[in-house]
Structure 1
C-alpha cells in the first residue's frame, strides 16, 4: 500500500488507516465481537493499513485493551493513535484537559495498549475550563519524556454541541494557531467525506500550508456512503446513528442520489469496485497528507477499504462527484 506522512514527513503510515471505535463503542453492541475484530486488525496490518486509531473513551477503555492484544504480537507493524480529553459518564461525555489528568491518562493508555510509546497522541476535545495551551503543554511534556512521538488535535464529535461544521472548523483553526505556539502539531483529525466536505474550506488548507497530516474521520459517512444501508433501516438504541439527523428514513431517502452517483462512478472502474471504495478514493485525492480512517470491525470491510488505496479516479470521476447534490439533514 502507498505510504503517506504525518507531521513534516517524519512519520509514515499506510494511505488508508483503520478506525477501531466500532469494535467496542458507538455502534450496535449486539454486532460487536472481539475475536472477529482482532482478526480484522491483523488483516489490516497485513494489507498495510498500519494506522490504528482509537481513544481511551471508546468503551470506555475496552478499545485500547483490544488493540493491546494485537500489539503484543505486532507492535512493530502498527502506528498507534489514541486520544485523551474526554470522560464518559452515566449520562454525559465531559472534557477534562487538566495537566495532571492528561499525564495519568497517558500512563493508563500505555498500560492498556501494552506499549512503551504512543505514536500519535491526540487531544480529543479542548476543555473549556482549562486554557488549551496548558493541556497541550502537558502533552508536549509526554513527548519530551519519550512516552509519545507526536501530537494531534481532533475536531471530531463536536457537532454534538449542534454547531455547524464550517464554524466548528474555524474554531479549530484558532485552537491550532494557539497550540502551535507551544509545541508542533503533527496531525489534525476531522470529519471529511463526500457528504461532509466542510473541512476543505479552512481546516485542510491550514494543514497543507504547514505540512500537518490530516486524518479524515468518518470518510464513509458512518456507513451511508457504502450503499449497504437502505432508508428505514433500524438502528439499536446504543447506535449513534439512531440519533443522527441524516439517518432518519426521510433523510436517508433524500440522500440516496449521492450513493447512486458513487455507484455510477464505481461501475466505470469494474464490477468489483464499490461505492465505498470510490468514496475513500475521493478522500485520498484531496491531498497527499490526507489519510482516511474508515471504521470497521470485520475483515471483509477492512479488505475492501484497503483496496481503495489502489483506485485512481479520473478527472471525469472527480467532476461527477463534485457535482453530486449536497447532503440533506444536519446537526444545525
Structure 2
C-alpha cells in the first residue's frame, strides 16, 4: 500500500487507516464480537493499513484493550493513534482538559495498549473551562517525556455553523492557530466524505498549507456510502444511527442518488469495485496528506477498504462526483 506522511513529525502510515471505534462503541452492540474484530485488525495490517485509530472513551476503555491485544503480536506493523479529553458519564459525555488529567489519561492508555509509546496522541475535544494552550502544553510534555511521538487535534462539534451559513470549521482553525504557538500539530482529524465535504472549504487547505496531516473521519458516511444500507431499515437502540436525522427512512431515500452515482462509477472500474472503494478513493484524491480512516469490525470490509488505496479515479469520475446532489437532512 502507498505510504503517506503525517505532519511535522514526518511519521509514515498506510494511505488508508482503520477506525476501531465500531468494534466497541456507537454502533450495534449485538454485532460486536471481539474475535471478529481482531480478525479485522489483522486483515487491515496485512494489507498495509497501519494506522489504528482508537480512543480511551470508546467502550469506555475496552477499545484500547482490544487494540492492545493486537499490539502484543504486531506492534512493529501498527501506527497507534488514540485520544484523550472526553469522559463518559452515566448520561453525558464531558470534556476534561486539565493538564494533570491529560497526563494520567496518557499513562492509562499506555497500560491498556501495552506499549511504551503512542504514535499520535489526539485531543478529542477542547475543554471550555481550560485554556486549550494549557491542555496542549501538557500533551507536549508527554512528547518530551518520550511517551508520545506526535500530537493531533480532533475537530469535534464543528457542525454548529451549518444551518446559519457560518464557515463550518472557523472555531477549529482558531484552536489550531493557538496550539501551534505551543507545539506543532501533526494531524487534524475531522469528518470528510462525499456526502459531508465541508472540510474542503477551509480546514483541509489550512492543513495542506502547513504540512499538517488530515485524518478523514467517517469517510463512508457512517456506512451510508457503502450502498449496503436500505431506506427504512431499522437500527438497534444502541446504534447512533437510530437517532441520527440523516438515517430516517425519508432522508435515506432522498440521499440514494449519491449512492447510485458512486455505484455507477464503481461499475465502470470493473467487477469487484464497490461504492465504498470509490468513496475512499475520492477522499484519497483530496491530497497526499489525507488519510481516510474508515471504521469497521468485519474482516471482509477491512480488506475491501484497504484495497481502495489501489483505485485511481479519473478526472471524469471526480467531475461526476462533484456533480452529485448534496446530501439532504440535518447532520446535527
Q: Smaller-chain TM-score range?
A: over 0.9
**Over aligned residues, Cα RMSD in angstroms?**
1.1
Match of 1:226 in 2: 226
Which residue number corresponds to residue 143 of structure 2? 143
Aligned match of 1:252:
252
Number of the residue aligned with 2:27 = 27
Conserved 8 A contact 1:153-1:185: yes
TM-score by length of 1: 0.98
| Cα-to-partner distance string for 1:167-217 (whole Å, 9 max, x where unaligned) | 441100000000000000000000000000000001000000000000000
State the partner residue of 1:127.
127
What are the within-5 Å matches in structure 2 for residues 274-289 of structure 1? 274-289=274-289
In structure 2, the CA distance between the partners of 1:135 and 1:184, relative to structure 1 (3 Å rule), is same
Instruction: From the superposition, tell whether residues 64 and 35 of structure 1 become closer, same or farther in structure 2 (CA, over 3 Å).
Output: same
- Distance in 1, matches of 2:177 and 2:156, equals 18
Q: Report what 1:7 is aligned to.
A: 7
Report the count of equivalent residues.
330
Deviation per CA, 1:42-66: give whole Å up to 9, x if none. 1111100000000000000000000
Match of 1:44 in 2: 44
- How far residue 271 of structure 1 moved from its aligned partner, in angstroms, is 1.8
Shift of 1:107: 0.2
User: In structure 1, the residue corresponding to 2:169 is in which secondary structure?
Assistant: helix
Matches within 5 A, 1:71-90: 71-90=71-90
Q: CA deviation at 1:163?
A: 4.7
- Pairing of 1:175-214 with structure 2 (within 5 A): 175-214=175-214
* Residue aligning to 1:322: 322
CA distance in 1, matches of 2:9, 2:264: 36
* Alpha-carbon offset, residue 9 of structure 1: 6.3
Distance in 2 (alpha carbons) for counterparts of 1:69 and 1:188? 26
Give TM-score, length-normalised by structure 2: 0.98
* 3-state SS of paired residue (1:102): helix
Partner of 2:290: 290
Report the Cα distance in structure 2 between the residues aligned to 1:8 and 1:99, rounded to whole angstroms: 23
After superposition, the C-alpha distances for 1:14-48 in whole angstroms (9 at most, x for unaligned) are 00000000000000100000001011111111100
Q: Secondary structure at the match of 1:257?
A: helix
Gaps of 5+ in 2: none
Structure 1: tracts of 5 or more residues without a match = none
**Residue 162 of structure 2: aligned partner:** 164
Aligned residue number for residue 112 of structure 2:
112
Q: Write the deviation string for residues 87-122 of structure 1: whole angstroms up to 9, x where unpaired.
A: 001100000000000000000000000000000000
CA contact (8 A) 1:155 1:168 kept: no
Partner SS state of residue 319, structure 1: helix
Residue 301 of structure 1, CA deviation: 0.2
Who is 2:308 aligned against? 308
User: Is the Cα–Cα contact under 8 Å of residues 158 and 172 in structure 2 kept in the other structure?
Assistant: no
Q: Which stretch of structure 1 is more off in the superposition, 15-24 or 163-172?
A: 163-172
Q: Displacement of 1:267 after TM fit?
A: 0.6
Runs of 4+ in 1 over 6 A off after TM superposition: none
How far did residue 158 of structure 1 move?
5.2
